């Protein structure tokens, strides 16, 4: 497996699992309440699932890949900004920052 395929799989599986977990875990819903974004939790989880599926389908259809990688990167930028706004500890910001950079990288190398 190439590094590129690994990165796509890492991002896709991570977002798929995270998105599905939102619907199965009260802890995830409480996190969105802590962020002050309880009413957006379902939307964010759905976008994460769609973005993950788009990365996989987009492996064969480039415009879908670009939309998915760009969308997930933007979603994680908003996640970073949210965590900064509520003054989360830096170590809690790192995962969103990592996935923002990862999906931004995947987007730009596919332009």
> CA-CA distance, 96 to 14, in Å (whole number)?
11
Residue 71: Cβ within 10 Å count: 18
Average pLDDT of every residue of the chain: 97
The yes-or-no verdict on residue 80 having pLDDT over 90 is yes
pLDDT at residue 33 in the model: 95
How does residue 1 score in pLDDT terms, banded at 50, 70 and 90?
confident
Residue 90: Cβ within 10 Å count: 9
CB 15 within 8 A of CB 50: no
| Residues 6+ positions from 103 with CB-CB distance below 8 Å | 11, 69, 70, 72, 73, 76
> CA-CA distance, 16 to 20, in Å (whole number)?
6
Model confidence over 33-60: pLDDT tens digits? 999 999 999 999 999 999 999 999 998 9
Give me the residue spans of the domains in the chain. 3-109
């Amino acid at each position: 497996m190439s590094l590129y395929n690994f990165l796509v799989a890492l991002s896709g599986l991570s977002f798929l699992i995270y998105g599905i977990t939102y619907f199965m875990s009260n802890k995830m819903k409480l996190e969105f309440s802590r962020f002050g974004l309880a009413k957006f939790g379902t939307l964010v989880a759905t976008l994460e699932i769609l973005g993950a599926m788009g990365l996989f389908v987009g492996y064969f259809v480039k415009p879908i890949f670009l939309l998915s990688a760009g969308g997930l990167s933007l979603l994680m930028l908003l996640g970073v900004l949210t965590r900064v706004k509520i003054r989360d500890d830096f170590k809690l910001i790192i995962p969103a920052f990592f996935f923002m950079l990862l999906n931004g990288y995947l987007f730009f190398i596919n332009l």
